[in-house]
Amino acid sequence: MRYLLFLLMSISITYAQTWVPLGTGANDTVRTVFAYSTTEVYAGGDFSTMGGTNSVRISKWNGTAWSPMSTEGINDTVYALYALNSTNVYAGGMFSQAGPTAANRIARWNGTDWVAMANGFTTGDSQVNTIYALDANAVYAGGTFLQSGSTTVNRIAKWNGTDWSPMNGGLDGDVMVIYAVTATDIYVGGAFQNAQDGTVPASRIAKWTGTAWEAMGTGANGTVTAICAVSPTRIYIGGNFTSPGNGVAVWNGSSWSGVGSLGTTVKSLYYVSETELYAGGTFTGYAKCWNGTTWAILGTGVNNFVEKVHAPILKSGRVITNFYFGGWFTTAGGAVVNRIACWEAPTAITLVSFEAKSIENHVKIAWETGAELDNMGFYVWRSTEENGTYTKLNGYLIPSQGGSSWGAQYSHEDFDIQPGTQYFYKLQDIDAQGKSDFHGPISVQE
């Protein structure tokens, strides 16, 4: 008689996550990060070197190394970045020159050179704090500025590909963040109290419809510095407020509610799902993730403030599981990273069960998932010792049948067995980036 031993795993999410340095990092604060892809990550801030290379206030990561964007770099702090593609990268801040080009607080990188965007913003010591681009003819910038050339814009303006235009009176206080879903669904946060030349009360958060400003309930009682807009009925905000919520809140289309109690100040948010919302800031822990129930620190965390968290998007709309953090910190997960690091999650598999059964002349290995995030498929590995050397059984990848909100059932049959031998099996999942995680081992006596 053959004996059966299997392990039924309770529903759980397995994350093989870790902090990964990006070269040797920066020699001064990283104020902003924009990840277009894992091989095209832009960083801006106060630094003069990145990865040991002269990169003055702005630099590009290609997946293995940092490189400058022009010899001269940018002549003052970069606070905002947005990339539509490699030839439309927008930078904003306090600067008056980008590379050899005169550029007032905002400029565009065309893949080779920096290009001025008309008059930019020229009011005193003003700065651009945030940029969001829907396309090359719909670029939105916000900050502390009042004018573009001779045109009054009041802290927020739209670029049409040729010039900057006002947005119906603008706002009466600093703009810290812009997040656009469509041209008629644009969400703006900051330190303002009113919009539209003071005619629309809007406490630190407002919606732009394309022609007019709208309040969003009673707003927040402190500055809003982060927004993630999933849809018009799911808008997350973060900042230095205690109402609604303590640091983070969500809008359902008609009212606000708190998202746990993270504390202040939340400088940046990045949404993956209702059970995966990343936050960075000056709050205790500095880098955390909301799992639907609580705010959990990422590994052993970072040792100082986070200014920005960002991740690239797959063409399918799913987030690649590489999250880039920039800020004041010098260590992440106990390792020296110097102000920029990647929180890397190769795969996220909700494994409901994983078992091995002896059936006549073979062993059937079966598993079931509850959900799969960017999973490509599976390999099954076998050994005759629990901690021994494992051999891959399937030469082909068993393709994924699950998704981010649903799972699937799988099996593999092992006929190359000997009577009386105990076998140990592991399951390997592979994600869209070729990264993997192992589950098990489980065992069966043949």
Q: In this structure, are residues 236 and 250 in contact, taking their beta carbons and an 8 Å threshold?
A: yes
N-term to C-term CA, the chain: 9
How far apart are alpha carbons 49 and 351 in whole angstroms? 44
pLDDT of residue 192: 98
Domain ranges of the chain: 18-344, 348-445
How far apart are alpha carbons 248 and 242 in whole angstroms? 9
Going by C-beta distance under 8 Å and a sequence separation of 6 or more, which residues neighbour residue 360?
none
How far apart are alpha carbons 325 and 311 in whole angstroms? 9
Going by C-beta distance under 8 Å and a sequence separation of 6 or more, which residues neighbour residue 123?
144, 145, 146, 147
How far apart are alpha carbons 13 and 147 in whole angstroms? 50
Going by C-beta distance under 8 Å and a sequence separation of 6 or more, which residues neighbour residue 301?
285, 286, 287, 332, 333
pLDDT of residue 382: 95
CB neighbourhood size of 433 (10 A): 16
Mean pLDDT by 10 residues, the chain (446 residues): 36 55 97 95 98 97 96 97 97 97 97 97 89 97 96 97 97 97 95 97 98 97 96 95 97 96 95 89 95 90 97 61 94 96 75 89 92 86 91 93 82 92 92 78 85
Q: Which residue in 137, 141, 138 sits closest to 171, CA to CA?
A: 141
How far apart are alpha carbons 105 and 117 in whole angstroms? 9
The two most distant CA atoms of the chain are separated, in Å, by 90
Residue 136's SS3 state is coil
Q: Which residue in 155, 170, 169, 157 sits closest to 90, CA to CA?
A: 157
pLDDT of residue 433: 66
Tokens 């990343």 belong to residue: 278
The count of residues in the chain is 446
Q: In this structure, are residues 204 and 237 in contact, taking their beta carbons and an 8 Å threshold?
A: no
CA distances to 63, 114, 117, 247, 432 from 88, rounded to whole Å, are: 19, 10, 12, 33, 26
pLDDT of residue 17: 61
Residue 373's SS3 state is strand
Structure tokens at 373: 């995030």
Helix (H) or strand (E) holding 350: strand 348-359
Q: Which residue in 416, 445, 428 sits closest to 381, CA to CA?
A: 428
User: Is it true that domain 18-344 has CATH number 3.90.1580.10?
Assistant: no
What CATH topology corresponds to 348-445? Immunoglobulin-like (2.60.40)
pLDDT of residue 12: 34
Pairing, β 156-159 against β 138-143: antiparallel
How far apart are alpha carbons 317 and 173 in whole angstroms? 34
Count H helices and E strands in the chain, helices first: 0, 47
What pTM was computed for the model?
Answer: 0.78
In single-letter form, the type of residue at position 309 comes to V
Going by C-beta distance under 8 Å and a sequence separation of 6 or more, which residues neighbour residue 44?
30, 31, 32, 33, 57, 58, 59, 74, 78, 79, 80, 81, 91, 93
pLDDT of residue 5: 39
Tokens 């392990």 belong to residue: 7
